Amino acid sequence: MYKSLLIDPEKCTSCLQCEMACSFEHEGVFNPAKSRIKVFEFEHGRTAIPYTCTQCDEAWCMQACPVDAITMNRVTGAKEVNDSLCVGCKVCTLACPFGTINYNQNTGKVIKCDLCGGDPECAKACPTGAITYVNADWTGYERMRTWALSS
């Protein structure tokens, strides 16, 4: 059974610990600009929502890649970018309906959440439990729709 990130916006305080943990894990620096998870603030900071790749079942990014540089990790279910194959064309960034794939100017490649190999640093760093790593059946479109309708 695959697991995925579950984000509870009501618990997010916009502390950016998730962004810091992610950038340190992947880039070796504490720099939110280099993070694969972002905290988006609405209503001038009254509401903060962390967002990252949702690891879509259909994965438009993976289907759009002309060199097959995005593949599914069979252990975690994460759609991962293979840097040695990525040519930096950015087609996947256009294909992603959520805008969660970013271009890294330093490397000339794209970056996206890879679930840290099954042990996501963002979830471990979140002090309020706004980001948790749970069974994939507990997340997804229906859960988001239910939450949106109740808000």
Amino acid in position 56: C
Q: Where are the domains of the chain?
A: 1-52+117-140, 55-112
Q: What is the pLDDT of residue 43?
A: 79
Are the folds of 1-52+117-140 and 55-112 the same? Answer: yes
- CATH fold for domain 1-52+117-140: Alpha-Beta Plaits (3.30.70)
Q: Sign of the C-alpha dihedral, residues 106, 112, 114, 119? A: positive
CATH number assigned to the domain with residue range 55-112, chosen from the 4 options 3.40.50.720, 3.40.1190.20, 3.30.70.20, 1.10.1200.10: 3.30.70.20
Q: What is the pLDDT of residue 90?
A: 97
Q: For residue 113, what are the CA distances in angstroms to 31, 51, 61, 110, 151? A: 16, 10, 12, 11, 27
Per DSSP bridges, beta strands 3-7 and 131-135 are antiparallel
Q: What is the pLDDT of residue 46?
A: 76
pLDDT tens for the chain, 151 residues: list them.
788 999 998 999 999 999 999 999 999 999 999 999 999 988 776 788 999 999 998 999 999 999 999 999 999 999 999 999 999 999 999 999 999 999 999 999 999 999 999 999 999 999 999 999 998 776 555 555 665 676 6
Q: What is the pLDDT of residue 143?
A: 59
Q: What is the pLDDT of residue 129?
A: 96
